[in-house]
């Protein structure tokens, strides 16, 4: 990766004390998955105080998600299982976030439609996980790499995914519902874009 994101650079430094510890990259992946599920669950309650805690826990868990890959590289323990676990933690975590936000805002601006939007965005997050796995496989076939994540578009050291870090301050300042609506539609569009990419690749191969 030519342009390493800032959060990954920070994780690379912070994870160094764990290199010679019994902590494994896969254990970190599982830990971050549970963290995102707990954080998302708190957002479904509809309580302001719990939402603040939930957003904070979710954001911290997503940041810690960078530790597993960095630890695996520094320990020399990269594996196919770790690769899939990392993807699962992200896809399931984001899916749970959208689903729980939809439940949390069922009495808000969108009413019951918030649940439908949350479910649609959650399905998109999970589908995007599988689409990205497929794209990884396509890239591996073309350039001869294996188990290498495609990542997200990077601008000035920030990835598209880094927008999730705004979840915490936005929640603290009371704009979570607007963030949910914007992020949910963005997730749906992102999924559609990945589907178009895959279909275009298949048409290219068949022609």
* Inside any domain, residue 1: no
Query: pLDDT-derived band of residue 145, with 50, 70 and 90 as boundaries?
Result: very low
* Inside any domain, residue 98: yes
The pLDDT tens digits for 1-56 are 457 888 889 999 999 999 999 999 999 999 999 999 999 999 999 899 999 999 99
| CATH number for position 154 | 1.20.120.1760
The pLDDT tens digits for 101-113 are 999 999 999 999 9
Q: DSSP string covering 77-127, please?
A: ---HHHHHHHHHHHHHHHHHHHHHHHHHTTTSTTTTHHHHHHHHHHHHHHH
Range of the domain at 135: 6-206
Q: How many domains does the chain have?
A: 1
Q: DSSP state, 153? A: -
Provide the token pair at 189.
Answer: 């569009």
* Inside any domain, residue 167: yes
3-state secondary structure of 155: strand
Dist CA 32 CA 72 (whole Å): 15
Dist CA 132 CA 141 (whole Å): 14
């Amino acid at each position: 990766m030519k342009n390493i994101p800032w959060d990954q650079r920070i994780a690379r430094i912070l994870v160094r004390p764990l290199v010679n510890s019994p902590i494994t990259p896969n254990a970190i992946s599982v830990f971050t998955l549970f963290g995102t599920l707990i954080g998302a669950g708190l957002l479904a309650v509809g309580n302001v105080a719990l939402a603040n805690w939930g957003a904070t826990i979710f954001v911290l868990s997503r940041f810690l998600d960078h530790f597993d890959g960095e630890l695996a590289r520094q320990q020399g323990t990269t594996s196919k299982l770790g690769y899939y676990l990392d993807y699962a933690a992200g896809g399931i975590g984001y899916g749970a976030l959208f689903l729980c936000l939809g439940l949390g805002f069922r009495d808000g601006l969108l009413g019951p439609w918030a649940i439908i939007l949350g479910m649609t965005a959650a399905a998109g997050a999970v589908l995007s996980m599988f689409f990205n796995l497929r794209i990884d496989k396509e890239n591996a076939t073309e350039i001869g790499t294996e188990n290498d994540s495609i990542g997200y578009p990077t601008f000035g050291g920030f990835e598209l995914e880094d927008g999730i870090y705004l979840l915490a301050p936005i929640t603290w300042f009371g704009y979570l519902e607007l963030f949910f609506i914007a992020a949910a539609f963005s997730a749906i569009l992102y999924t559609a874009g990945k589907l178009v990419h895959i279909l275009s690749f298949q048409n290219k191969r068949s022609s």
